Structure 1
Amino acid sequence: MKKITLHLNNMICDCCVRVVRMDLEAMGVKVLKISLGEVVINFNPLKTTLEAIEKMLETNGISLIKNKEGIMVKEIKRSVISLVHHTTFNAMVRNSDYLVGKFGKSYPYLSSLFSKYEGITLEKYIILHKVERIKGLIEENELTLSEIAFMMGYSSVQYLSTQFKSVAGVSVSEFKKHPAQYRVSIDKLGKGSFATESDHEIPMSII
């Protein structure tokens, strides 16, 4: 039996985790540990090849990350998703400071590395996720826009509204009329997700 850790790209939701676990077990592979973007497995190379595992992953839209830089970019994406979508930490610390502290690298280095692999700046990627989280909070209708602005680390409702429209292409009031029409799955957020592509038109000082 061979034990290895696989680093996976585009595996960023609980549904992905369930599907990968199920498909690996169907191949006779023992899953020792699995989380977003990573799985530790035991398998018999004589019965199941790594190439077969990679092909199975690709059928699910997931790819293996095979170099250190790619692994770090995957970890950056996972950290952004965790911070923005699963905590209320945004009101207490800038996202850039959080990432610098977590990875022990300068923000310019992290941003340059991220852009190299993803074709979008880290700053824009964070904003995409912040706006998508805001969409969800608006749709839940449990908080006022002022409360959402504070929770997500915005200095004012006006600033949130301006950035929201620049990214989503519609105002907050228009979004409320047809929310499902403007939602984007978090695994689809990235290059090309902005309604406005000009850096000069997208307020980006709040990360």
Structure 2
Amino acid sequence: MLKLHIKNMVCNRCIMVVKSELEKFGLHTISVELGKIEIAEDLSKEKIVDLNRKLLNLGFLIIDDKKSQIVEKVKNLIVELVHFKDNRFTTNLSDYIVAAIGHDYSYISNLFSTQESNTIEHYYILQKIERVKELLVYDELSLNEIAFQLNYSSASHLSKQFKKVTAMTPTFFKNSEEQKRLSLENL
């Protein structure tokens, strides 16, 4: 059995694409999750290089160093928390990350900042703002409901943060012809 960590695998569509590519490559997957895969077979170095080449063509990358794996795991935890789970959690973000990764938060935070030139907290805010954009485009929830869903203290707090990050208000964004959203792997 072989476990590999994959960079830029940040959504359910990514999982489907990677799983399909693994099947085309003739591999039997045990599991394919955000940022990681488990394959039933062991692969030679040459096969891993070949697989990585195929994944690179799709925008993914096999990560083999431990520090990059930790950073990618933090990113995947945040993406999963913001985009795929109810963001109403009772612990703070640092405790959530420490519980999932098992390292001291200052180590994780410094590692993340060094490799990403960004803080974990800012990355979390960027993910939340992209989720707000998505929910505004869907036009199914009020700003108050979006603020509640994404764990903001108020719609006013959400609006201030949204404007700080995007230089526009949520209402202006919602009503604009060009509703620019960023892909999750580019945040």
What TM-score, normalized to structure 1? Answer: 0.80
> Cα distance, 1:109 vs. partner?
2.2
Letter in 2 for 1:113: L
Q: In the alignment, is the contact (CA less than 8 A) between 2:2 and 2:42 conserved in 1?
A: no
| CA contact 1:28–1:43 (8 Å) conserved in 2 | no
Amino-acid identity (%): 36
Q: Deviations over 1:78-97 (max 9, x none)?
A: 11011111122336443233
Instruction: Classify 1:102/1:50 alpha carbon distance in 2 versus 1 (closer, same or farther; 3 Å).
Output: closer
Gaps spanning 5+ residues in structure 2: where? none
Report how far residue 18 of structure 1 moved: 1.9
- After superposition, the CA RMSD in angstroms is 2.1
Structure-to-structure mapping, 1:128-143, within 5 angstroms:
128-143=126-141
Corresponding residue number in structure 1 for 2:85: 87
Check if 1:68 corresponds to 2:87.
no
Tell me what 2:116 maps to.
118
**Structure 1: any 5+ residue segments left out of the alignment?**
190-207
Deviation at 1:52, TM superposition (A): 0.8
Query: In 2, Cα distance between the equivalents of 1:43 and 1:180?
Result: 47
Q: Report the TM-score, using the length of structure 2 for normalisation.
A: 0.88
Alpha-carbon displacement from aligned partner over 1:135-179 (angstroms, at most 9, x marks no partner) = 122222222212222222222222211110111221111101137
Provide the aligned length of Structure 1 versus Structure 2: 186
Contact 1:34 1:40 survives alignment (8 Å): yes
**Secondary structure in structure 1 of the residue aligned to 2:6:** strand
The 3-state SS of whatever aligns with 1:79 is helix
Provide the secondary structure at the position in 2 that maps to 1:39: strand
